[in-house]
Amino acid sequence: MGVVNVTPDSFSDGGETLETEAAVARGRALIAAGAHMLDIGGESTRPGAAPVPAETELARIIPVVRGLADAGVPLSVDTRKAAVMEAALAAGAAVINDVTALAGDERSLSVAAASGASVVLMHMRGEPATMQDAPRYDDVVEGVFAHLESRVAACEAAGIPRHRIAVDPGIGFGKTVAHNVDLLRRLARFSDLGCPIVIGVSRKSLIAGLSRGEPADARLAGSLAAALAAVEAGARILRVHDVAETAQALAVWRALRGGGDVAGTAD
């Protein structure tokens, strides 16, 4: 899943693709680089971020969704607002990726159920503005698991079948470095939910926290290492900014881990 941020302030690429044309070009480049899905967002949810009004989010992302509707891969809309979900689905999106797991807006569950879209339910503790203020859990894996389990149940009760649901423990959303490490080490636990696991570690501060405090534009190597570890632990979908590099790392890792034919392009 390649990230297209149509925002002025995303933590790693804010402002790079705020204009429609630049965002559509980025989306097409990510597909050419190997993305199987694009995740288009118009609101930063980085730690400390303030919410953005629905009209602003709509103005940012709807032209981009329209511009990528014929691009040949499913489009996901990264939003916590039902009005934005509705408009994005009407414009051509097929997946709703919600950092509040469809609990941030009272209409989200019914919009998702009525649309037939697939959904990504992510765990977040609190709100972006304050989520990194000393987060605490008795057991982060069981705490996040219980929350996702209840959100999967809420989706099913609303009429969204389990085969259209993916889950994401929300790396960096109300978690310390130690919490994030625990979640990634014990990711297999989330397979018990019976839904594909999505992981977003790309360029996140976890990488810097485990290394030498590098800024977001110098976290590629650590992001690739974390992505491979997540896949080994059971992740099925990686939400990444650097698609070409991730696809290359995955191709080599898969070949060397064994299983299946090796499809090389040169000898």
Choice from 120, 152, 165, 207 touching ligand HH2 (CB under 6 A): 120
Task: Annotate each residue in 126-165 with x if it binds ligand HH2 (CB under 6 A) or - if it does not, as one string.
Answer: ----------------------------------------
Angstrom distance (rounded) from CA 198 to CA 183: 12
Angstrom distance (rounded) from CA 106 to CA 56: 20
| CA angle at 128 for the pair 133 and 218, rounded to the nearest 5° | 90
| Structure letter (DSSP) for residue 124 | -
Name the nearest CA neighbour of 98 among 124, 127, 121.
121
- 140-158 and 108-115 helices, crossing angle to 10°: 60
Closest CB to ligand HH2 among residues 86, 175? 175
Task: Annotate each residue in 200-239 with x if it binds ligand HH2 (CB under 6 A) or - if it does not, as one string.
Answer: x--------------------------------------x
Choice from 2, 6, 7, 183 touching ligand HH2 (CB under 6 A): 7
Q: Cβ of residue 6: shortest distance to ligand HH2, in angstroms?
A: 9
User: Which residues are the active-site residues?
Assistant: 204, 239
Instruction: Give me 239's structure tokens.
Output: 């939400």
Task: Annotate each residue in 25-64 with x if it binds ligand HH2 (CB under 6 A) or - if it does not, as one string.
Answer: ----------------x--xxx------------------
Amino acid at 62: I
Farthest-apart Cα atoms in the chain, separation: 56
Q: Cβ of residue 81: shortest distance to ligand HH2, in angstroms?
A: 14
- 108-115 and 82-91 helices, crossing angle to 10°: 20
- Asked whether position 5 contacts ligand HH2 by CB under 6 A, the answer is yes
Angstrom distance (rounded) from CA 9 to CA 43: 8
Residue nearest to ligand HH2 (CB): 200
Closest CB to ligand HH2 among residues 191, 255? 191
Q: Cβ of residue 226: shortest distance to ligand HH2, in angstroms?
A: 11
CA 152 to chain centre: 17
Q: Cβ of residue 144: shortest distance to ligand HH2, in angstroms?
A: 12
- Asked whether position 190 contacts ligand HH2 by CB under 6 A, the answer is no
Contacts 24+ apart (CB under 8 A), 263-266: none
Using CB under 6 A as the binding criterion, the count of chain residues that bind ligand HH2 stands at: 21
| CA angle at 203 for the pair 201 and 209, rounded to the nearest 5° | 85
At 199, give phi and psi (nearest 5°).
-135, 130
Closest CB to ligand HH2 among residues 4, 113? 4
Q: Which residues bind ligand HH2 (CB under 6 A)?
A: 3, 5, 7, 10-12, 41, 44-46, 78, 97, 99, 120, 122, 168, 170-171, 198, 200, 239
